[in-house]
Amino acid sequence: MNLFSEARIVAIESSQFTAVNNRDKNFTEHKLKAGKQQFKESIERYLSELDRGDRDPILVLERRASHLDEKFATVKAQMRKLGKIERQLRKAPDQRRIR
């Protein structure tokens, strides 16, 4: 029958892909170290302000102290999260983690 002898055959695949490389979802060892350092500095800042409030309660209002306690707890939770991500990163073959 020779149906395709002079015609060209073209096949088109209809797959669609979306690339996701959000900075909050992409982690490397360097990014983890920088994040941990930033959190450590935040914790030190919060603790020094709480110490200052303990020494001279007039300088730090009670509302501010409770707000600092909340921030401190948030940063500690974020540090735990980074620790979990770091463990996953060490298991990854390319030393990268994308959620």
Q: What is the pLDDT of residues 29-68, one digit of tens each?
A: 888 889 889 988 988 888 888 788 777 777 666 777 678 7
Tell me the per-residue pLDDT of 20-30, one tens digit each, with 9 for 90 and over. 667 777 788 88
Question: Cα separations (Å) of 75 from 4, 19, 45?
Answer: 67, 30, 12
Looking at this protein, which amino acid is placed at residue 45?
R
The pLDDT of residue 37 is 92
In this prediction the pTM is 0.57
H-helix segments, 1-99: 29-55, 62-91
Sign of the C-alpha dihedral computed for residues 92, 94, 96 and 99 taken in this order = negative
CB atoms within 10 A of CB 42: 16
Torsion (CA) 21, 25, 28, 34 in degrees, nearest 10: 120
